[in-house]
A and B are shown apart, each in its own frame.
Chain A
Amino acid sequence: MIDCFWLPGLQEGDVTTWETRELGDVGIRWPVLRPEALRRVLAAIADARQGELARAPVADIVAAIDAAAARLADPADPLRATAEAALPPVTGYSPPMVRLVLDRMAADWRAPALERLLRAELGDPAVLDGFAPGSGAGARRLVRATGPQLAFHVFAGNVPGVAVTSIVRSLLLRSATLGKTTSGEPVLAPLFARALDSVAPGIAAALAVTCWPGGTVVLEDVALAAADAVVVYGGQEPLRQLGARARPGTRFLDHGPRYSFGVVGREALGRGSASAVAEAVARAVATFDQQGCVSPHVVYAEEGGEIDPPAFAGLVAGALAALEDELPRGRISGGDAAAIHQARGSAEFRAIAGAAVQVHAGPGTSFTVAYDADPAFAISCLNRFLWVKPVPELLQVVRHVSPYRAFLQTVAVAGAGERLQALASALGAAGATRITTFAAAPWPPAEWHHDGRGPLVELLRWTDLEAPPPD
């Protein structure tokens, strides 16, 4: 039985009921918390923060997180082994996908990535330890950055690692941190807490992680009453509800669902180059089985290259087929499978009715690439279902996606050549917050402006110490 919780301050007798899940060989559990037990936990992590987290130099916090991440990155480590055993049955992702995601995500929690993040957001991380010139070199003031005292994070979905990244950011700001996971992925965040406890128990004592059903108002209200910052991942309705109930003055950072897509210009559609791009597109689609906010729903391919858009769709399908062994698609629900069959059938009947549509379907529901000459924006049913659509000129993509500006996130681009700057400007104006390559699309760097915002800066409070003017 794997304990999917980390609750400092939880007392004997606080837990009378457990939520348990048996998934093949793996059992997971977490306590059914009562509000007073959660209150005790929150008090305990707030106290613990005063003890060590609030005083430690940021370099020490970085070192502690790095050492914890090293354990999750090490295939020989028992905590990593637990993650590898539990995540496939719990999340549905295949074991190779879980290993890939753990490797890539853990790298983001290592010291070099954290130092990049701190420098990118703060200029000089010393502003977290005391008054320093910060990034405003030349300004006649010193600044100090203070994080929230207690941050409440509400996670969503089943992409492993997203929760830990959010917790890591919170700890860097010296915030006591409560993370609420979902039953879709309750595993990794508590394992991270355990790893942290093994290397820096004083810091781990200021972190709490557990699971409860989303919308459990009695527990959410206890957490909202204690928190001065709330970070929420999820659908619009939970965002609205939590936002409305947070205390006045609470920092509220929301990450709603996002839409990402790809663009392939004719420079990348040469006979020699198109296969490599198709391979990168396939990997971007296959990673997280397309469930990441960074995963493309549709790829717009420019006409006029040596490989035309319909042929490019075929290449992507071939590349997805080739990935099946290395990175197999995970288990999906019957409803998700039904959605794929419906989308395939719908596309097939459009073709029968005379539309320029071609469906490339893998065995079962493993993958689908649907070429559709209608360039209108399309939403995928996900789980490796990609639309490929033509555009006569790259920049024309913008008008198809701009109605969705509030939801746009990552745009993966290949073959834009010298048009990249102009395309990026237009996409940025249309709402996109990240423009990258297909290879990098699934793996935003630690220092990315997540959904267009600095994840540290958004939570910080600045104190200015204005120096007397120099003589």
Chain B
Amino acid sequence: MALRPGDELRQELIALFAAGAGPGAELTEERFGALALRVFEHQFALNRPYGAYCRKRALTPATVDDWRRIPAVPTAAFKEVALVAGDASAARVVFRTSGTTRGMERRGAHHLLDPALYHASLLAAFEACVLPDGARPALLSLIPSPAEVPDSSLSHMAGVLLERLGIAGSGWFSRAGSLDHAGLATALRRHEREGTPACLLGTSFAFVHWLDALQAQGERFALPPGSRLMDTGGYKGRSRDVDPGEMRRAYAERLGIPASHQVNEYGMTELLSQYYDAALRDLVLDGPGEPRRKIGPPWLRALVTDPETLEPLPEGATGILRHVDLANLDSVLAVQTEDLGTDVGDGFLLLGRAPGATPRGCSIAADLLLGALRDSPP
């Protein structure tokens, strides 16, 4: 079979990811930089809109020799054009952003020519951060299955996790948009009885709804030691906003899962690798534990950038997060987000996803107007 452009690079990356993201898997600055520049060269050549964007800035493989200077594409651009390093019609998977808070907006699309890279990356990062002790708990997913929501990257990810890591007793507990409370309770009681650990996967808003329901019923679980959970995403107006500290207490109180075993994931449709809380990994590997920072696999790096200029800032600074993800081989590796974070050296503190959250003046903000239009009769 003829090699496609980038296949050699793809195989090299898959091999790198497959070696895992655990201890000893660190990538040197030089090696990461060299790989990033090769991915950039590949995308500059094959991703036409991205190439045009780079040429406008006179930042091309000929002029960029530092991975930090690779032009970053704003996440909003995924809504405007197909950012594919290759032929979009050949994509085997297309993920779409949810667009829950801005009903009128177009949804962003992320095209994957070959999902193998994505799978290798997500498995390695999940194992390193959610299963750093080598445990293999049953995976109980509050996330809808990929069969239900095929264009959701989160559902796809949960699908891969269950398929590749899910031992007997793993399963889906969200159907047709609602949580299977009874099924979940039965499964958790079994774990309690048999003393086997469970790993719950869900969005933060699904957990809030579920914990509210448990509280209303006065129900609580005492899951066996080694049980853990991965929660992800903001609340996006789909449940009440909950303070992270309150959430951690509720997880401990209602489920018996201690804070060290609550691992928050930070990911986005536009990135094929994910960050996680360092908490559990720190516990297992004797890491610092505090602050509760986000870490990713070695092939995913975060830059904190100046809010005015988007220039990378030194360690310790707070600014807008940019991610450089080698798993994004088929799209763009450098993604400029709307999220704010503080660099703490071996990771970053995520300050939230709240662009313009507090309206300052009396003019209407986009979210407010669109939300109001959605709620009011035409």
Residues of A within 8 A of B (CB): 92, 156-159, 162, 184, 233, 235-236, 255, 257-260, 288-293, 295, 297, 332-339, 341-346, 348-350, 352-353, 364-365, 379-382, 403-404, 406-407
Complex interface bits, B285-329 against A, C-beta within 8 A gives 1, otherwise 0: 000000000000000000000011110000000111000000000
What residues on A are CB-neighbors of B355 within 8 Å? 335-336, 338-339, 342, 381
Residue with the greatest number of chain A CB neighbours at <10 A, chosen from B74, B319, B336:
B74
Cα separation A345 to B77 with both chains bound (whole Å): 6
From DSSP, what is the main secondary structure of chain B's interface residues?
mixed
Give CA–CA (A235, B369) in the complex, Å.
Answer: 10
Tell whether, in the assembled complex, residue A236 and residue B372 are in contact, meaning their CB atoms are under 8 Å apart: yes
Distance in Å from the Cβ of A43 to the closest Cβ of chain B?
31
Kindly state whether residue B338 has any CB partner on chain A within 8 Å: yes
The CA of A334 and the CA of B80, in the complex, are separated in Å by 23
Of A236, A290, A345, the contact of B363 (CB 8 Å cutoff):
A290
Are B336 and A345 neighbours in the complex by a CB distance under 8 Å?
A: yes
Task: Tell me how far the C-beta of B306 lies from the nearest C-beta in chain A, rounded to whole angstroms.
Answer: 9
In the complex, the answer to whether A382 meets B372 with C-beta atoms within 8 Å is: no
Give Cα distance in the complex from A348 to B71, angstroms. 14
Q: Is the CB of A343 within 8 A of B362?
A: no
- Within 8 Å of chain A (Cβ to Cβ): is B52? yes
| B283 CB–A CB distance under 8 Å | no
In the complex the two chains form, is B361's CB within 8 Å of A295's CB? yes
Q: B360 to A342, Cβ gap below 8 A? A: no
- Whether the pair A352, B53 counts as a contact (CB closer than 8 A) is yes
Q: What B residues does A343 contact at CB under 8 A?
A: 76
- Complex contact B369–A259 (CB within 8 A): yes
A-B pairs with lowest CB-CB distance, top 4: A291-B361, A345-B74, A364-B308, A257-B364
List of B residues within 8 angstroms of A184 by Cβ: 358, 360
**Chain B residues with CB below 8 A from A336, complex form:** 355-356, 360
Contact residues on B (Cβ < 8 Å of other chain), bracket:
35 or more
In the complex, the answer to whether A157 meets B365 with C-beta atoms within 8 Å is no
A404 touches B340 (CB 8 A): no
Q: Are A341 and B53 in contact, CB atoms less than 8 angstroms apart? A: no
Instruction: Say yes or no for B378: interface residue by CB 8 A criterion.
Output: yes
Contact A334 B318 (CB under 8 A): yes
A295 nearest CB neighbor, chain B only:
B363
Which listed residue (A157, A333, A342, A403) contacts B361, Cβ 8 A? A157
Asked if B336 and A297 sit within 8 Å, CB to CB, the answer is no
Q: Which of B53, B339, B360, B375 contacts A291 (CB 8 A)?
A: B360
13 more A-B contacts (CB under 8 A) besides A292-B363, A352-B49, A381-B366? A92-B360, A288-B361, A337-B308, A338-B307, A338-B320, A341-B320, A342-B75, A345-B73, A348-B53, A349-B76, A380-B366, A382-B363, A403-B373
Closest to B338 in A: A338
Docked CA distance A291–B363 (Å): 5
Q: Tell whether, in the assembled complex, residue B308 and residue A365 are in contact, meaning their CB atoms are under 8 Å apart.
A: yes
Contact A346 B76 (CB under 8 A): yes
Check: B357 CB closer than 8 A to any chain A CB. Answer: yes
> Looking at A235, A288, A341, which has the most chain B CB atoms within 10 Å of its CB?
A341
